[in-house]
Amino acid sequence: MSTTFHQSRQAAAAHHGGVAIVPLGFTLSIFMAASFLLCALGGFLPGLETLHFLGALYPSLNWTSPALIAAGTAWAFACGWYVAVFCGLLYNTFSARRS
């Protein structure tokens, strides 16, 4: 029942010039997680391990360990949802006031 309520609320927000939070959240989260994975996989390429930004930012950590790659991917996914909820709600609030 609450899923139907949220879907109708998102459809109403998108209809009134707002943005639907759930699709935005999944889109940003998947984009950020994929970007992190591509960046982390760059540490495995020969010649790029010294140019890796994460290695320069945190020189004491081994960014080629699977646990840190999984944690970084999960953190990037969570940050995508944070940005989507925060910015999406702000946008919907201010666009509703303008209408």
For the cut 60, the answer to whether the pLDDT of residue 49 exceeds it is yes
Mean pLDDT over 82-87 rounds to 96
Say if residue 10's pLDDT is above 60: no
CB 43 within 8 A of CB 52: yes
Per-residue pLDDT at 74: 95
Q: Assess whether pLDDT exceeds 80 at residue 77.
A: yes
The mean predicted confidence, pLDDT, of the chain is 81
Q: Where are the alpha helices (DSSP H) in 1-99?
A: 2-15, 21-41, 53-57, 66-98
Q: Which residue has the higher pLDDT, 2 or 70?
A: 70
pLDDT of residue 44: 81
